[in-house]
Amino acid sequence: MQKLLLALVLFTLIACNDKPEGKILSSSSGALNTLTVVMPNDLWAGSVGESIREKLAGPVNGLPQVEPMFEINQMPIEAFSGFMRKQRTFLKIEQADVPALEVVSDAYARPQTGIILRGPTEESIINLIKSDSAKIVDTYKAAEVKEKIRRISLSLKEDEDITKSFGITMKFPSAYRYAKTDPGFFWIRKDIPNGDMNITIYEVPYNMIDADSNTIGSLIKMRDSIAGDNIVVNEGMRFITEAAFAPYLNETTIDGKKAFEMKGMWEVKGRFMAGPFVNYTVDDKENNRYLVLEGFVFKPSANKRDNIFELESILRSVKFVD
């Protein structure tokens, strides 16, 4: 009995030491793309709050409707205790002698990502928000994508055919179905109320993309050529990039490989069909190709931020295999 009690005590100590500061953390809570801001009410109503709203609740690029990057819930510092500290993401404003930005992980729950901004004056805090807004946004977006992939992983669709055809793995929910698996072109779909969500995967040779002088023009030309030939619409109509809505272009990485990220609108002329898309054209030097990963949504007269976010998370889950 003494040996058993000793073993239990040792196990408990080891388990506690595995947690931050010896604490056993409970699970965090909070919807995706929702951020808790902890700061005094008067600061929230003033220029500091306005600066936060401008940088974190601004519109998402590439959507037909104006939708905020994050839904923000503000609370005063004294309310940030007990259960309210379990929020999965939070931004806290504190007064301090020296301006500073601190990223904290799993401080009160797990998983949890928090950012603490400190400064002696409102002006110093606003300057921090403006100068480090990209880091703040990237930190929260990375946390949201990681959490979305974790949730997706609870019920995965088999991706063996994708691995065989393209040399990659991809995590996507079992609710999706394979609509087309032609050599060199896959089309994957999910039905949603009043519409659908779609993923396409294909590869193109290096000479199809002009990575120097006219990158976005060559990406649009590639997209309209390949997708237009393979996405089934009515005879005589084509699935193309909407010309009146200039796509946004950024550089990013997918599994450590450089990639072009393009966000814009697609359309099918004559059918009054349109919607947002996100396209990652990945520079896969090892295989002498560009691998193209795209997600697009058809969901008329409804918000699409969370749908595009799901597709982005799925595409960012891609891993290249040997």
Confidence band of 24 (pLDDT split at 50, 70, 90) = confident
- d(Cα 261, Cα 148) in Å, to the nearest integer? 19
pTM for the predicted model, two decimal places: 0.89
pLDDT, tens digit, 9 for 90 and up, residues 165-196: 999 999 999 999 999 999 999 999 999 999 99
- In which band, very low, low, confident or very high, does the pLDDT at 232 lie, cut at 50, 70 and 90? confident
Mean pLDDT score, 214-241: 89
**Residues 114-139, mean pLDDT to the nearest whole number:** 96
Structural domain boundaries in the chain: 20-151, 155-320
Quick one: tokens of 177? 């179905």
Cα gap 200→181, rounded to integer Å: 10
The CATH class given to the 155-320 domain equals alpha beta
* β 71-75/34-38 pair status: parallel
Give the confidence band of 6 by pLDDT, cuts at 50, 70, 90: very low
3 state DSSP class of 197? strand
Mean pLDDT of 210-219: 85
- Give how far the C-alpha of residue 306 lies from the chain's centroid of Cα atoms, to the nearest Å: 9
For residue 64, is the peptide bond before it cis, meaning its omega torsion is within 30 degrees of 0?
no
**What DSSP letter does each residue of 296-318 carry, written as one string?**
EEE-TTS--HHHHHHHHHHHHT-
165, two tokens? 């055809």
Q: What is the pLDDT of residue 14?
A: 39
CA-atom Rg of the chain in angstroms: 23
Mean pLDDT over the full length of the chain: 91
Confidence of residue 18 (pLDDT cuts 50, 70, 90): very low
The mean per-residue pLDDT over the stretch 4-16 comes to 43
Res 97 pLDDT > 70:
yes
Q: What is the DSSP letter of 211?
A: -
pLDDT band at 205 (very low <50, low <70, confident <90, very high): very high
Q: Two tokens at 233?
A: 């619409």
pLDDT of res. 75: 97
pLDDT (mean) for 283-296: 96
Q: In angstroms, rounded to a whole number, what is the distance separating the alpha carbons of residues 47 and 43?
A: 7
Res 16 pLDDT > 50: no
Sign of CA dihedral 111, 135, 304, 187: negative
Q: Say whether the peptide bond before residue 40 is cis (omega within 30 degrees of 0).
A: no
Q: Is the pLDDT of residue 212 over 80?
A: no
Count of alpha carbons within 13 Å of 312, Cβ hemisphere only?
23
Same fold, 20-151 and 155-320: no
CA gap 316, 295 in Å, rounded: 11
Asked if CATH classification 3.30.300 holds for the domain at 20-151, the reply, yes or no, is no
Tokens of 260: 């072009």
Question: What sign results for the dihedral spanned by CA atoms 233, 166, 182, 202?
Answer: positive
Structure token digits, residue 80 = 């940030």
How many C-beta atoms lie closer than 10 Å to residue 26's C-beta?
A: 12
> Which sign does the torsion angle of CA 64, 236, 200, 179 carry?
positive
Give the pLDDT score at 235. Answer: 66
Q: Percentage of the chain surpassing pLDDT 70?
A: 92
Residues facing 197 on adjacent strands: 190, 297
Confidence of residue 267 (pLDDT cuts 50, 70, 90): very high
Return the minimum-mean-pLDDT range out of 82-96, 263-277, 308-322.
263-277
Strands (E), 51-97: 71-75, 89-95
For range 26-41, the mean pLDDT:
96
